[in-house]
Amino acid sequence: MSPRISVWISNSVFISFFAVSILYSLVYFENNSLREESSSLIDEKNRSFARVQELSRIKNQFPIAYQCHYNFGLSDGSLFESTEKIPYSIYKRLRLGDTIEIYKKELRSLGKQTAISRIMGNEEPLPLLENLEKYFKYSFYYFFALTSVLLTIRVSGWLFRTYPSQKKPNETDAIVANNSLDSHQK
């Protein structure tokens, strides 16, 4: 008899794989949309101003990198805070409270009003949903492997499982069984 995986365990893995697949595809397509929007970000009509809130060095990164936290106003009057990785050439020019020129674009991301922005002159890539996409991609790979293994075990368990025959014993089998029983009792 082959080892059996409980049905509820394998079904839970199948459902988890399905859920992670949906979430991964959602984040993947949203990140592609944000990449397209950020490629058209540098335009004169998207030009605006922001105020520097914090400047810091990114720890444990080589070569040395810096980041700038700044906020700017949206069209509905609310403030939006953004963080951006910047090179040293921009870092050495900035001070806390400075007004900087940025490119900004308002959009809807995952059903929420948001904005993307870039400091003028900065060539560093924007931090979109890259980390979230990586997380779901690796989760997708993990659950795909787990689902494949469990499916293989379940299918092979179904194929190699033997069941007793359901045929009715005939009279000759009953006579042979009685004779062998009598010989054992003597």
Total count of domains within the chain? 1
86 in a domain, yes or no?
yes
Nearest of 44, 53, 66 to residue 100 by alpha carbon: 53
- Give me 34's structure tokens: 């944000």
6 in a domain, yes or no?
no
3 in a domain, yes or no?
no
167 in a domain, yes or no?
no
The CATH number linked to 54 is 2.40.50
148 in a domain, yes or no?
no
What is the pLDDT tens value at each position of the chain, 186 positions in all?
A: 444 556 777 778 888 889 999 999 998 988 888 888 888 878 788 888 899 998 888 887 777 888 889 999 888 888 888 888 888 888 888 888 888 888 888 888 777 788 888 888 888 777 777 788 899 999 999 999 998 888 887 777 665 555 555 655 555 555 555 555 555 555
Q: What Å distances lie between residue 107 and 8, 37, 61, 96, 128, CA to CA?
A: 42, 9, 31, 28, 13
